[in-house]
Structure 1
Amino acid sequence: MSVDAERPAAKSWYPWYVTGVLMVAYILSFLDRQILYLMVEPIKADLAISDFQFALLTGGAFGIFYTLMGLPIGWMADRYNRKNLIAVGITLWSVMTALCGLANSYAHLFLARIGVGVGEATLSPSAYSMLSDSFDKKRLPRAMSIYTFGLFIGAGLAMIIGGEVIAAVKASPDLELPLFGAMRSWHMVFIVVGLPGLAVALWVETLKEPARTGMVKQPPKTAGHFPFADVFAFIGENKLMSLSLFIGPAFFSVLAYSDSWYPELFIRIWGWNVEESGRINGVSSLIAGPIGLLFAGWLSSRWLAAGRTDACLRLTALGAVGIMIPAIAMPLMPTAGSMAFMLFPFKFFIGFTPVLIPSAIQMVAPNHLRAQLGAVFLFAVGIIGVSMGPILPAFLSDFVFSGDRALPHALATAAAVIGPVTFILLWVGMKQYRQRYQEMTVAESRQ
């Protein structure tokens, strides 16, 4: 019997319901993650920090711990109840987001952002594994694209609603709390967006844990405990493919996460207020991002059905070329309107990697390594992308370029360097990926 035959029937509604709930959790995670980017200037002013120090709140405090914790959490997701793991993670990051609203020093805010990163690290490795056990290979990219909707909806809502919340809170007087002192507008924003996550954690807890499918027989020494050494063995046996599945997307994400500076770019270069900048950045995320990920999921599914087994990886490589062009051009546009227009193709191509690469990994990974290899993907994206995406432009802006145009020049330069490297890294493992896909198909057909 084939592995796909073990999964829920194509007309079953429950796997799609689970996908929707996981998408809501992903929306919440990006809302909590992205809201910080609208509050650059007030946080810098109140805590007396530089652009580089601010970038460390996202690329350092959040990004590094988000990725480091993903590895042991991925190991746990391959062994234990995944929906419970997600529910605990949502509770943690929601509480830590609210604690950001009590921060009265840079160190306090830095530590709270570490907590947000640790909590959010539970979500995607567990979700990837749950979805892979709920859908066959032809439907998996579509399910991944729906889950990944959360990225753009969360980021979009963070920009749009966040801008409105910030404006509303600014109109309120500062609060004085015992022990914590003055509560500024940005403090209140963290509390407002953080606490609703506790309700989502309870919702996730009501889901049914899907049965694990496609289990492979383990050698006697490793049966039953799935050592992490198997992950290194898998990577070592598929070096070029692993380079394309993990390092290529990580460099892609350096381009993608540079958009953390885009809200500030409109404020700093064109004098927009927070609401205006949040609105255009949010609308572009809500419109172009979902269109991009749906297009990627739809086209990759068609290519897979037609026998193009490298569809997910090939489309990601082409997407690297697509995102590089607006990433270079957007910061250098001569008017605010043309800069805003370039946000849309940029956000469109951001949608490729989060749906295509996790799908590609799940198609060639044995079941006992699915969450762990998903965590390796997130680890690479986090260490290189989530960390360096915000930090590299800030470093170039503070230490290489100078003047009023330092930030746009830094953003364009980073994209021009990273873009070609990304394409090469994604393309180099294509042949080995096709071979591994075929091996998995033959092995599964014999079960």
Structure 2
Amino acid sequence: MRDNEVTMGGNGEEKAVSQGTQPGYAYGWYTTGILMLAYTFSFLDRQILNLMVGPIKADLGITDVQFALLTGGAFGIFYTVMGLPIGWMADRYPRKWIISGGIALWSLMTAMSGLARTFPQLLLARIGVGVGEATLSPSAYSMLSDLFDKTRLPKAMSIYTVGIYIGAGTAMIIGGTVVGAIEHHPDIVLPLLGAMRSWHVVFLVVGLPGLLVALWVATLTEPKRSVRAAEQADADQTGFSPARIWRFLASYPLMSVSLFLGSAMFSVMSYADAWFPELFIRTWGWGPQQTGLVNGAASLIAGPAGMLAAGWWSSRMIREGRADACLRLTAYAAAGIALPAVLMPLAPNGFLMGVLLLPLKFFGGFTPVLIPTAIQMVAPAALRAQLGAVFMFTVGIIGVSLGPILPALFSDYLFQDEHALRYSLSLASGITAPIAFLLLLIGLRQFGRRLAELEGTPPRG
């Protein structure tokens, strides 16, 4: 940020005049596309595990709670905790190299999952995946905020985050096809590696291609960092300081609750999808290929539709002067997702259950687009990636971890029956949906006030 000079445009927005050349919007969209590809591989490597619950539990002799640790607890804790120092690095050092190194790490650790023979070995490999994936979003949020103005940023975020559902959907379809094709041949012999279980091979196949994406990201041009004139005095404060982060959050307590805790509670319902493939298997006796196709299709159709709708709708509202659009629309989505999230697991047949996945995935796509955008809009320049990491931290601790674990706890300890998974998922959503809606609403006024402070205009409403 020391390389930038800042001038103000006539509309009060910042313009970064750097010593180098800032890439134009065309290159910004190109960068967005590559980051979206990286996010796709991130979720492909993360979600492929969810379609292999049965084989992994049988081979390793583990419980639902232990499996939830692989998909949520251990992965989520390291994914979120490592995001904080990585966010500081992204606010100070070239972000493309941080992302490239992270992709290489999580790809290798996904492949290493294919070599695991015990639960502790697989747990350590999944922790490595979490650490690698923690590099992506804080760095990507920061890069995108320097590549686009506030009216284009929601659209760019929507394209980037589409990778969530493309990766998850692809994982379901490819994983289900592979597992279904080889479920009658659980042992496969590979050169040098010898006899392996079928789920080991899936990890190897999906992990190694990510190394090529890491090389591609390394070719990107690092964008110059923009600073709003209202915060120029803080532009050089790039040291890691939890106290500075806390002071900012404490200055806007209700806004902070909405952006971080509200979005985290919303994400509990989204990350419960770790159990959706197994839900169809346990409830209706479907095979991996059929459940992978249904869950994958829902992710590929409804998820991106929700994300693109969120980006388009919020950009339009911002152009019309509704600066709080990102947070307001997320609250609306929390209300919209409640009913399908509660009813989907209780559907009387597999077809209706698959149909109800569509609105659940649609509204679930709002949070990953709108909340990171909202944070970048209100964050001080020196804290953009770090506050993005705080978002990852709260979503990871509450959403990524609790999303898979809460239904598992209900199944193992409340209902004491793994076939009660449908009731566990419905109960978990019934608890979290109203809490998320209320937490998202309470910070709207402070969010608007913060935006008005940065723009130098009186807040609306």
Common topology (TM > 0.5): yes
User: Is residue 338 from structure 1 mapped to residue 348 from structure 2 by the alignment?
Assistant: no
1:138 to 151, 156, 162: 151
Change (3 A) 1:162 1:224: closer
Note if contact 1:27-1:152 (Cα within 8 Å) is conserved in structure 2.
yes
Q: Aligned with 2:232: secondary structure?
A: coil
Q: Aligned with 1:133: secondary structure?
A: helix
1:380 to 388, 394, 410: 394
1:391 to 370, 380, 405: 405
Change (3 A) 1:168 1:226: same
Inter-partner Cα distance in structure 1 for 2:338 and 2:153: 27
What is the match of residue 272 of structure 2?
A: 258
Q: What's the offset of the Cα at 1:214?
A: 1.2
Q: CA RMSD in A?
A: 2.0
Q: What's the offset of the Cα at 1:168?
A: 3.5
What is the match of residue 169 of structure 2?
A: 156
User: Is residue 236 from structure 1 mapped to residue 250 from structure 2 by the alignment?
Assistant: yes
1:183 to 196, 219, 235: 196
Q: Deviations over 1:130-156 (max 9, x none)?
A: 000000000000000000110010000
Unaligned stretches of 5+ residues in structure 1: none
What is the match of residue 217 of structure 1?
A: 232
What is the match of residue 326 of structure 2?
A: 312
Q: Structure 2 matches for 1:29-428, cutoff 5 A?
A: 29-170=42-183, 174-175=187-188, 182-214=195-227, 216-218=231-233, 223=237, 225=239, 227-403=241-417, 405-428=419-442
Q: What's the offset of the Cα at 1:223?
A: 3.9
Inter-partner Cα distance in structure 2 for 1:4 and 1:326: 41
Note if contact 2:237-2:382 (Cα within 8 Å) is conserved in structure 1.
no
Inter-partner Cα distance in structure 2 for 1:124 and 1:71: 11
What is the match of residue 20 of structure 1?
A: 33
Inter-partner Cα distance in structure 2 for 1:102 and 1:179: 12
Q: Aligned with 2:321: secondary structure?
A: coil
Inter-partner Cα distance in structure 1 for 2:427 and 2:242: 38
Inter-partner Cα distance in structure 2 for 1:108 and 1:297: 40
Inter-partner Cα distance in structure 2 for 1:223 and 1:353: 29
Amino acid at match of 1:6: A
Q: What's the offset of the Cα at 1:309?
A: 1.3
Change (3 A) 1:175 1:117: same
Inter-partner Cα distance in structure 1 for 2:262 and 2:192: 47
1:6 to 9, 16, 28: 16
Amino acid at match of 1:110: L
Q: What's the offset of the Cα at 1:180?
A: 7.2
Q: What's the offset of the Cα at 1:306?
A: 1.1
What is the match of residue 431 of structure 1?
A: 445
Amino acid at match of 2:69: L
Q: Aligned with 1:307: secondary structure?
A: coil
Q: What's the offset of the Cα at 1:169?
A: 4.0
Q: What's the offset of the Cα at 1:92?
A: 0.2
Inter-partner Cα distance in structure 2 for 1:265 and 1:173: 22
Q: Deviations over 1:259-303 (max 9, x none)?
A: 111100111110110000000000000000111111111111111
Q: Deviations over 1:106-163 (max 9, x none)?
A: 0000000000000000000000000000000000000000001100100000001111
Note if contact 2:16-2:225 (Cα within 8 Å) is conserved in structure 1.
no
Q: What's the offset of the Cα at 1:179?
A: 10
Note if contact 1:132-1:362 (Cα within 8 Å) is conserved in structure 2.
yes
Q: What's the offset of the Cα at 1:171?
A: 5.4
- What is the identity percentage for the equivalent residue pairs of Structure 1 and Structure 2? 61
Change (3 A) 1:399 1:173: closer
Q: What's the offset of the Cα at 1:70?
A: 0.5
Note if contact 1:75-1:228 (Cα within 8 Å) is conserved in structure 2.
no
Inter-partner Cα distance in structure 1 for 2:417 and 2:395: 31
Q: Deviations over 1:78-116 (max 9, x none)?
A: 000100000000000000000000000000000000000
Q: What's the offset of the Cα at 1:252?
A: 0.3
Amino acid at match of 2:239: H
Note if contact 2:23-2:147 (Cα within 8 Å) is conserved in structure 1.
no
Amino acid at match of 2:445: K
Q: Aligned with 1:6: secondary structure?
A: strand
Q: Aligned with 1:217: secondary structure?
A: helix
Note if contact 1:22-1:127 (Cα within 8 Å) is conserved in structure 2.
yes
Q: What's the offset of the Cα at 1:403?
A: 4.3
Inter-partner Cα distance in structure 2 for 1:281 and 1:311: 30
Inter-partner Cα distance in structure 2 for 1:370 and 1:142: 18
Q: Which moved more, 1:334-343 or 1:200-209?
A: 334-343
Please give the TM-score of this superposition, normalised by the length of structure 1.
Answer: 0.95
Please give the TM-score of this superposition, normalised by the length of structure 2.
Answer: 0.92
Inter-partner Cα distance in structure 2 for 1:80 and 1:10: 18
Change (3 A) 1:23 1:404: closer
Note if contact 2:88-2:239 (Cα within 8 Å) is conserved in structure 1.
no
Amino acid at match of 1:413: L
Inter-partner Cα distance in structure 1 for 2:279 and 2:175: 17
